[in-house]
Amino acid sequence: MIDGWNSMSAAALGREIEAGRVDPVALTEAFLDAMDQHQYRDLIFARNTAERARSEAEAARQRAKDGVRRGPLDGVPISWKDLYDTAGTSTEAGSALLKGRVPDQDAVVLQNATRAGLVCLGKTHMTELAFSGLGLNPVTATPPNVNDPALAPGGSSSGAATSVAFGLAAAGIGSDTGGSVRIPAAWNNLVGLKTTSGLLSLEGVVPLCAKFDTVGPLCRTVEDAAHLLANMGGPKAPDLAGASLAGLRFAVLETVALDNCRPEPLAAFEGAVAKLAAKGAHISHLKFSGIQRAMDMAGCLYVTEAWAQWGEAIEADPEKMYGPVRQRFEAGKGFAGYEYVRAWKELKQIRAEYEALTAGYDAVLIPSSSILPPDRERLLSDNDYFISENLLALNNTRVGNLMNVCALTLPTDTAGAGIMAMGLPFSEQRLLRIGAAMEAAL
């Protein structure tokens, strides 16, 4: 690819377009060519949108020529997870149940990104209906992990992550219900942002659990995440210049987040925390028993809503689904209505307690995942292993969803292991500035 464009951040490419050194059309063609020639193209992209991408790139070229670019990422090509409605292009959410589903208009966040000048390269593979943290999908395709193709890529935004990690898109847009942005980002050495529920529109996004579903970017830098968030309809990207860790107060959340963490990701996390402390951050340790109470209710909260959303379609054609994923949905039949209502009532109380406990800290820190990427062939052949590894993969990320906070994962020195910083609800701008300081230290 010309001049290493495939390894540059989205923001860096935007600056090259602004300076007149990169033509958006040439850039888009370079990414489309890289996609077509890549050995893993069909495992990462469900389908491309080449005609649309070329049209959008031509418009971006003209705006750049006229000096009226719409923003810092105008003309930059990115990928979209295959649960974002794309007008005239199949949107199937990784499921044979939705095969041939063609929406007539874009999802609202895609509309917003298009208005900001971003170029839509295509739709990426994902776990069926977004209901697994491993990224395994034998029904459509399982993308390879960038560190080792034999390992699971992380899910459910598996293709979104690998499209960036393999240099086939400048950034990818995924979704996060229980960790589906942060797990594949961490396992493929990327930055991933889980937004607060309700911050970005879910209109035109194929749902899993609407009360937990969120939209978020997977990218190379915190700066990219900030601009992508703004381009999709979020708050203005904060000024990241001069971001510093000096004097910041971080709390390491113990109990659930660390208890089940395996030695390698735990060591990577501890090494990263030491680097933050060396740059002036104050590190405390925090325990909160409410997290365990929330985790104990997570099964009821998630699977009840997921089954309510998809149960009828699954029961009409159960053989179209990969068994272990289907079984996760079917677990939703086992809970009574009063259990679900009671669980939500208690969760809201736990969220209030957590927010009061952590309000005095700049961020709460935990390992992004309690495990490194597992072997994909063993996951396919051993159902018990699939179940146990999936629960461990989601163990830490679900804390952020259950507490309804924003969360940012950053790479560490260990491939496939990330460090996650969690902020208070709707504090994305502050969290991104903190993340930029952490990124510099790491």
Distance CA 221, CA 244 (A): 16
Place of tokens 């209901």: 131
Asked whether 165 and 190 are in contact (CB, 8 A), the reply is yes
Single-letter amino acid, residue 388: S
Query: Which of 79, 158, 175, 180 is an active site residue?
Result: 180
Integer-rounded Cα radius of gyration of the chain: 20
Encoded tokens for 22:
């990169």
Whole-angstrom Cα distance, residue 255 to residue 414? 23
Catalytic residue among 79, 81, 95, 370: 81
Angle (CA) 119 123 126, round 5°: 140
Distances from the Cα of 54 to the Cαs of 27, 51, 59, 76, 223, in angstroms? Answer: 10, 5, 9, 12, 25
Give me 314's structure tokens. Answer: 């699954």
Place of tokens 């060519």: 33
Q: How far is Cα 48 from Cα 25, in angstroms, rounded to an integer?
A: 16
Give CA–CA dist 119/54, Å, rounded: 8
SS3 235: coil
Q: Are 10 and 171 within 8 A, CB to CB?
A: yes
- In one-letter notation, the amino acid at residue 291 is I
Report phi then psi at 273, rounded to 5: -60, -40
β-strand 191-194 against 214-219: which pairing, if any? antiparallel
Burial degree of 437 (CB within 10 A; 0-12, 13-18, 19+): buried
Whether 81 sits among the annotated catalytic residues: the reply is yes
Report CA-CA distances (Å) from 36 to 30, 121, 279, 382: 10, 12, 44, 34
Distance of alpha carbon 123 from alpha carbon 121, whole angstroms: 7
Q: Which of 79, 95, 132, 156 is catalytic?
A: 156
CB atoms within 10 A of CB 1: 15
CA atoms within 13 A on the CB side of 42: 2
Number of residues written out for the chain = 442
Residues acting as catalytic residues: 81, 156, 180
